[in-house]
Amino acid sequence: MQTTPKECDKNFEISGKVEEMRQNSGLAHCMYSNNHWDFCSDYRKIVKYIKKNKSKDEQELLLKMFKLIPNKLVPGRESKEWEDCVMAGQSYAKTWEAFDKAWKAYEKLSEYAEFLKCEKALEDLNKAMKPYKKAHKVYFSKYAEELQTLHDKMFTDCHKETEKLFLVR
């Protein structure tokens, strides 16, 4: 069975709206332009960010390539390696949210107490990054071949499209 990026969209085809997707986290393709695969903790939030903060040309390319992979297609989805990657990714996402909130409060108030909270949140973020990078490396190394096969089947024009993205930027 040939799978395409359209397969990734099936979990919101009923309504046609990203906001009503059932799956909102998991393995994502081209979440960052320099990496084919990553764990995405909040797909809807990233789509909203792209729509709000990127040019129309960038939006079109980013949204074409940035896809949340249905859980049933994730290689090793029941493995300890994927579970560790998900857990570490969720933990990192929570610490990122805390840092972002602290930073915004500091920017708004410019008080020393807010700066200290921001420093603490950054320290926590750096601590959460280490287990995420480790889990990411273990999973993506173990399932590299299966991920490449999935990539080749689903995103046949990926390299051409991501090259366009770099030209737009």
Over residues 118-138, the pLDDT tens digits come to 899 999 999 999 999 999 999
> Do the bridges between strand 67-68 and strand 26-32 make them parallel or antiparallel, or are there none, so unpaired?
antiparallel
Residue 40 CB burial class (10 angstroms; 0-12, 13-18, ≥19): buried
The least confident of 2-16, 56-70, 72-86 is: 2-16
Over residues 16-68, the pLDDT tens digits come to 444 445 889 999 988 776 678 889 999 999 999 999 999 998 888 888 888 99
Q: Answer yes or no: is pLDDT of 4 > 60.
A: no
Q: Answer yes or no: is pLDDT of 165 > 90.
A: no
pLDDT band with cut points at 50, 70 and 90 for residue 69: very high
Beta-carbon-side half-sphere exposure of residue 76 (alpha carbons within 13 Å): 20
Beta-carbon-side half-sphere exposure of residue 23 (alpha carbons within 13 Å): 20
Nearest Cα residue to 31 out of 136, 153, 143: 136
- Name the percent of the chain lying above pLDDT 90: 50
Nearest Cα residue to 37 out of 130, 134, 150: 150
Q: What is the pTM of this model?
A: 0.75
Distance, CA of 8 to CA of 49 (rounded, Å): 19
Helix or strand holding residue 58 (H, E): helix 56-65
The identity of residue 104, as a single letter, is K
Q: Answer yes or no: is pLDDT of 116 > 70.
A: yes
